[in-house]
Amino acid sequence: MMRFRYPAFWIPALGGLICDRLSKIWVVTEFQLYQSWPIWPQVFHFTYVRNSGAAFSLFSGGSSWLRWLSFLVCFGLAIWAWFGPRMTRSEQLGYGFIFAGAFGNGLDRFYDGSVIDFLDFRLILFPVFNIADVLINLGVACLIISFLRPLWTRPRSSKPPLS
């Protein structure tokens, strides 16, 4: 029987992708484009918008290369998870979350040429975003923690510093 390699990569990758897809299906079926539902008025709303670019609407319009970039990132991460070197749990989580976010937004780009966004934090005037964007940021945070953890846990010298 083949052992499932790196479940801490694949479980967040698949779970995150499912959450992203279900949330976007809900938004498309329940909202009209640009419709907004205040959850906490002037603080947090669900607002259905489409973004043809990347984060913060960079590269809006004419961004068909972004769909291929999403595909390449996902393909590279899947290969890394199957054949790459040993990963810590936080690295697995980080890459899994990034895979889910890239795949979720990539599917939007392939299907319709734009990404479905709906999480609207108005208190800080932040651009509208989606679950996939949250997953990518969680993944980056996990990778930063993975990088910094050895710095936090390395043994400290008992010798006094040189003057």
Contact between residue 65 and residue 73 where contact means Cβ atoms under 8 Å apart:
no
Q: What is the pLDDT of residue 54?
A: 60
Model pLDDT for residues 71-104, shown as the tens digit of each residue: 999 999 999 888 888 999 999 999 999 999 999 9
Check 20, 108, 120, 133 and give the catalytic one. 133
Does the annotation count 120 as an active-site position? no
Residue for token digits 């795949």?
103
For residue 59, pLDDT beyond 90: no
Residue 70: band (very low, low, confident or very high) from pLDDT cuts 50, 70, 90: confident
Range list of H helices, the chain: 7-30, 65-83, 89-112, 131-153
The span from the CA of 89 to the CA of 155, in Å, is 21
Contact between residue 14 and residue 20 where contact means Cβ atoms under 8 Å apart:
no
Type of residue numbered 62: G
The pTM (predicted TM-score) of the whole model is 0.84
For residue 157, pLDDT beyond 90: no
- For the four alpha carbons of 121, 46, 130 and 49, in that order, the dihedral sign comes to negative
Model pLDDT for residues 102-155, shown as the tens digit of each residue: 999 999 998 988 999 999 999 888 899 999 999 999 999 999 999 997 776 656
Check 20, 108, 117, 120 and give the catalytic one. 117
Q: What is the pLDDT of residue 2?
A: 45
Burial class (CB in 10 A: 0-12, 13-18, 19+), 79: exposed
